[in-house]
Structure 1
Amino acid sequence: MEEKREKAPHVLVVPYPAQGHINPLLQFAKRLASKGIKVTLANTIYLTKSMKAKTGLVAIETISDGFDEGGFESSESTETYHERLKEFGTKTLTELIEKQNSSTLPFSCVIYDAFLPWALEVAKRLNLPAGAFLTQLCAINVIYYHVYLGKISVIPQESGTIYVPGVMEFEVSQLPSFVSAPGSYPAFRELLLNQFSNLEKADWVFVNTFDRLEGEVVSWMEERFPVKTIGPTVPSMYLDKKVNGDNAYGLNLWNPNTGTCMKWLDARPNASVVYVSFGSIAALGPEQMEELAWGLNGSNNYFLWVVRGAEENKLPNNFVEETREKGLVVNWCPQLEVLAHKAVGCFLTHCGWNSTLEALSLGVPLVAMPQWTDQPTNAKYVEEVWRVGVRAKLDQKGIVRREEVELSIKEVMEGENREEFKRNASKWRELAIEAVDEGGSSDKKIAEFVAILNKEDK
C-alpha cells in the first residue's frame, strides 16, 4: 500500500559551505520553521562532521563537495574546490531531492545560496520552485550586478570616483576589492559574478538586509528581480525574542572562549571595552598586526581581541603579557554575546557583512578596518550613510598605523561625534527589531512567502 503523502510545505535550504554563509541561511530557516514550515538544511558531509550543530526545528541532511574528509582546506586550489563542489553537489543534491520526493514529505521548494547557481538548475530540472539567497548588503549585490552586465568597467586607476546606478557615487577605494582590484582572487570574483548568471530564473530573491537600511537601493533591485528583504538574520534572542530557543546561530567551526570572555567583560565598566575581531577568514600581515596591537595599547582603553590560533605568531613579542592589565586576547569568542554586553563601547572590525549587521542590530558603534571583498563598501556605509562610526585611514603602504588606530578608537569612544554615533547605533537597532517583529517589513515578506507555500501545498 502506498504511503500517504503529507500535505505540508517542506523547504530545502542549500548554503554555500562556509560559516559566514551557513549562519544567515540557517537563521532564515529558523524563522520559516517558527511559522510552521518544515525546513531541512543541506550541509556538506565534511562540515556536518566538523561542526557542533544545534539547529532547533531545522533538520540536517548532507550533500558532497567532493572533499568529504577535508573540505575546502584539502583542495589544491579555490578553482578546484568550486569545480568539484559543482560536480559533486549537483549529483548529490539531485539524489537528496529525488529520495525525499519519494517519501511522505516531499520538498515544496529550494532556497539556495546565490553562490551556487547550479542548485537553481537542479531545482528547475526537478520541477521545484526555487529562491536565491543573497548574503550581502543589497548595494553590494547591485554593484556586482552592474559588473556582471559589463556596465561598470575594470578600474585600472588607484583613485577617482565612479557612479553606480541605483546606489551612489563611490571612490575607487570604497568599492569591493573584486571591482577596484579585479585581478585579485579571480576564483572568488567569478563566484560573485556568477550569482547573476541565472538569477532571472529564480522565483524569489531573498536578501539579508532590511528596507529601512538601504531603501532606495532595495527599490531599484525590486524593479528588476522578485526581491524579498528578510534580514537581519540574527538570532531572535537579540532582536524580537519571538522565536523560542533561538539564542545562537547553532553552527560553529571554532570553540569560543565563552566563560573567559564573559567573566572578563563582567569586571569592566560600562562602554569601556573595544572589541576587536576580523572574522573567520581575513588574515592581517605581520606589520599590520604589530601596528594594530600597539595602537590598541596606546588607546588606553580596555580591549578584547580575537586572534585566531593560526595568527598568534604575528603578535609582537610579549604583547599579551605586557598588556594583561587592560587587554584579553582569545582565539574565538561568542560575538553576539560580546556585542550585547554593556561593557563594550565599540567594535573594531573588518566590516564583513555578518559582523556589521550584528553591530547594527545590537546598537554598537564601529571602527572600520576593511580588508577585502565587500568590506570597503560596508565601511563607507558605516561612516557616511548610517553614521555609526569611522573608517581608519591607510598610509601609502596600505597599512593602518598605530597612531591612526588610536585616533579612530578615541574618535568613536570619546570624540565630539561620540554621542551621534551612539544615538545612530541605537536607532538602527530599533529599526532592525522593528523589521523582524510581527508585521515589520522583513517579517511581512517572510509571512507572504509562507502563505504562498501553504497555498501551493493545498
Structure 2
Amino acid sequence: MKEEGARGTHVLVFPFPAQGHINPMLQFCKRLASKGLKVTLATTLFITKIAHNEVSNIRVEGISDGFDEGGMKEAESPYAYLERFQIVAPQSLAELIEKQESSGYPFRCLIYDSMMPWALEIAKRFGLVTASFFTQSCANDAIYYNVKKGLLSIPVEGPTVSLPGLPILGIHDLPAFIYNWESYPPFLELVLNQFQNVEKADCLLINTFDKLEDEVLKWMSKLYPIKTIGPTMPLIYLDNRVEDDKDYGLSLFQPSKETYMDWLNMREAGSVIYVSFGSFAELGDEQMEELALGLKSSNHYFLWVVRKSEENKIPKSLVEAKSEKGLVVAWCSQLEVLAHNAVGCFMTHCGWNSTIEAVSLGVPMIAMPQLADQTTNAKFVEDVWEVGVRVKLDEKGIARREEIEQCVKEVMEGDRREQIKKNAFRWKVLAKEAVDEGGIQIRTLKNL
C-alpha cells in the first residue's frame, strides 16, 4: 500500500473489546481517515450499543462475541468470555470481510489487535495486507516475547532479571501476568500468544515513540518489521494537526456531569493531585481507605475519579467531611484534566494509555500499579524516564496512608520536585517531536 495510492483504500481496524485497547486504535483510525483512507472499526455488538460519543469519518461495524447483550459481564467469568469470544468472533469477522467484498469498497488491509492472532489467518484467507497493533509498551512486549520463546522461564528464578534492551528488572517490575502467573492463566496465554504467528504479519505497529523506548525498540526491530505510531492521543494536545481532535471517540463510560473543570479553574497552577486508576482496576476496601486518608493528610487539593461501581468503598469519613481540598467524581475527560495547569501530578495505576498521556503532557506521576503491564510501566516512570515516584507496599500488598502522603509530598513539594518537573517537560517536548517526525502519519503504512 504505497502512500501515493492510499487515498480511497479501505482499512479494517479490529481492537480487542476493552476501553484501553479501543482508545489507541480508534485514535489511529482518525489519523488514517485524515489522510484520505476509508476506515471501518469493527467492535462487538454490545459495545456499539453502549458506547457514548460518535466518531466522524469512521464507520463502526458491530460483530458478535457471543455475548451481544452484556459483553464480558454477561459471561460467567472473564475466562468463560475469552473462551467463547475466540470461537464466535472469528466467524463474525470473516462474515464482515466477505460481506464487504461485494460492495464497491472491499477491505484492502486489516489492522488487528495483537491480542487476537487468529485475525491474521482470516485476513490472509481473503488476501488482505496485515498489520498487528501492539497497544502496550515495547518493554512489556519484549518481556512477553522472551517468555513465549522460552528465553525467560516461569516461575522466574532469582531476585532480578536481565533481558536485551531493558534495564535490570526486579521480580515485581515484571508484568503481573509473569511474576504472579498462577493467578492469571488465561490472560497469560492471551499476552504470550501475541507472538504466535506475528512473523506472518506484513508489519507490527507499536503504540510508543522511538526516543521513549529507544534501546528495546532497537532490539525488537532486529526481529520484526516494526513501525512506532505513538503517542496515539488526540492531536489538539500535541500539535493540532487534525483540527478539533479533542477526544478519543467511543467511550464505554458516561463522562461525569460534575463541574470538575470549574473546580480546577479555581485552583492555583500545579496545586492539584489528579487520582485515577482507569476503567478496570478494582481497589480493595482497605486500600481505598488508606488512599483516602493519605490524600486527605497530604493537605493538597485532589481530584479523585471513583467509578460508580466502586463508590461504596469510599470511607464515610471522607464523604461526610466534604473537604474543599478534595473532589470525587465518577468519571471525567482525563486528557482535559491532565492538560489543565492546576494539575501538579497524576496518581495513576500506570496503564499504558494513562502513562503515555501523562508523559506526552509533561505531568509528573505517582505510580501505584495494580495488575497486568502496570508494574513494568511504573518501573520506567520512576527509574528510566525519572518523571515520578512509585509507592511502596507493605507485607499485605497495601500502600499505607503514610506512604501515600510521603509520595505526594515528594512530587508536589520535595527536593526532587524540580528535577522531576524538568524531566517531565523534556519528555513532553520529545512526544511532540515524535508527531512532527511522522510517528502517527499515514506513511507508517506506505511500505506494506
Query: TM-score scaled to structure 2, two decimals?
Result: 0.96
SS in 1 for 2:182: coil
SS in 2 for 1:279: coil
Describe the superposition over 1:65-101 as per-residue Cα deviations: whole angstroms up to 9, x where unpaired. Answer: 0111111100112222112212211111111111111
1:220 alignment counterpart: 219
- C-alpha distance in 2 between matches for 1:89 and 1:298: 49
2:439 to 426, 439, 442: 442
2:80 alignment counterpart: 80
Instruction: Give the superposition deviation at 1:232.
Output: 0.5
1:393 and 1:323, CA in 2 relative to 1: closer, same or farther beyond 3 A?
Answer: farther
2:3 alignment counterpart: none
Report whether the alignment pairs 1:133 with 2:133: yes
Q: Where do residues 125-204 of structure 1 align in structure 2 (5 Å cutoff)? A: 125-155=125-155, 160-204=159-203
Instruction: Give the superposition deviation at 1:258.
Output: 5.2
Report whether the alignment pairs 1:233 with 2:235: no
Q: Is the 8 Å Cα contact of residues 210 and 441 (structure 1) preserved in structure 2?
A: no
Instruction: Give the superposition deviation at 1:217.
Output: 0.7
- C-alpha distance in 2 between matches for 1:323 and 1:184: 38
Instruction: Give the superposition deviation at 1:443.
Output: 4.0
Instruction: Give the superposition deviation at 1:303.
Output: 0.4
- C-alpha distance in 2 between matches for 1:190 and 1:173: 19
Measured on the aligned residues, the alpha-carbon RMSD in Å equals 1.4
- C-alpha distance in 2 between matches for 1:400 and 1:170: 21
Q: Which amino acid aligns with 2:443?
A: A
Q: Is the 8 Å Cα contact of residues 382 and 389 (structure 1) preserved in structure 2?
A: yes
1:101 and 1:425, CA in 2 relative to 1: closer, same or farther beyond 3 A?
Answer: same
- C-alpha distance in 2 between matches for 1:166 and 1:273: 36
User: Percent identity of the aligned residues?
Assistant: 58
1:90 alignment counterpart: 90
Q: Which amino acid aligns with 1:13?
A: V
Q: Is the 8 Å Cα contact of residues 211 and 441 (structure 1) preserved in structure 2?
A: no
Report whether the alignment pairs 1:409 with 2:408: yes
- C-alpha distance in 2 between matches for 1:299 and 1:339: 20
- C-alpha distance in 1 between matches for 2:342 and 2:440: 31
1:156 and 1:163, CA in 2 relative to 1: closer, same or farther beyond 3 A?
Answer: closer
Of the structure 1 ranges 392-401 and 381-390, higher mean CA displacement relative to structure 2 is found in 392-401
Describe the superposition over 1:409-443 as per-residue Cα deviations: whole angstroms up to 9, x where unpaired. Answer: 00000111111111111111111111112xx1514
- C-alpha distance in 1 between matches for 2:410 and 2:152: 35
Gaps of 5+ in 1: 1-5, 454-458
Q: Is the 8 Å Cα contact of residues 52 and 253 (structure 2) preserved in structure 1?
A: no
Report whether the alignment pairs 1:399 with 2:384: no
- C-alpha distance in 2 between matches for 1:314 and 1:130: 45
1:229 and 1:222, CA in 2 relative to 1: closer, same or farther beyond 3 A?
Answer: same
1:456 alignment counterpart: none
1:340 alignment counterpart: 339
1:257 alignment counterpart: 256
Report whether the alignment pairs 1:47 with 2:44: no
2:241 alignment counterpart: 242
SS in 1 for 2:393: coil
Q: Is the 8 Å Cα contact of residues 232 and 432 (structure 1) preserved in structure 2?
A: yes
Q: Where do residues 19-30 of structure 1 align in structure 2 (5 Å cutoff)? A: 19-30=19-30
Question: What stretches of structure 1 move > 4 A for 4+ residues in a row?
Answer: none
2:359 alignment counterpart: 360
Q: Is the 8 Å Cα contact of residues 258 and 329 (structure 2) preserved in structure 1?
A: no
Q: Which amino acid aligns with 1:30?
A: K
2:107 alignment counterpart: 107
Aligned residue pairs total: 443
2:205 alignment counterpart: 206
Instruction: Give the superposition deviation at 1:166.
Output: 2.6
Gaps of 5+ in 2: 1-5
Q: Which amino acid aligns with 2:182?
A: G
SS in 2 for 1:342: coil
Q: Is the 8 Å Cα contact of residues 305 and 328 (structure 1) preserved in structure 2?
A: yes
Q: Which amino acid aligns with 1:169?
A: I
- C-alpha distance in 2 between matches for 1:353 and 1:218: 16
- C-alpha distance in 1 between matches for 2:332 and 2:7: 42
Describe the superposition over 1:205-255 as per-residue Cα deviations: whole angstroms up to 9, x where unpaired. Answer: 000000010111111111101110000000111111011231101111111
SS in 1 for 2:270: coil
- C-alpha distance in 1 between matches for 2:69 and 2:181: 33
- C-alpha distance in 1 between matches for 2:58 and 2:83: 28
SS in 2 for 1:53: coil
Instruction: Give the superposition deviation at 1:452.
Output: 4.3
SS in 2 for 1:283: coil
- C-alpha distance in 2 between matches for 1:243 and 1:318: 46
- C-alpha distance in 1 between matches for 2:379 and 2:395: 19
Q: Is the 8 Å Cα contact of residues 363 and 429 (structure 1) preserved in structure 2?
A: yes
- C-alpha distance in 1 between matches for 2:202 and 2:310: 43
1:425 alignment counterpart: 424
Query: TM-score scaled to structure 1, two decimals?
Result: 0.94
1:33 alignment counterpart: 33
Q: Is the 8 Å Cα contact of residues 297 and 323 (structure 1) preserved in structure 2?
A: no
Q: Is the 8 Å Cα contact of residues 28 and 440 (structure 2) preserved in structure 1?
A: no
- C-alpha distance in 2 between matches for 1:244 and 1:210: 22
Q: Which amino acid aligns with 2:35?
A: K
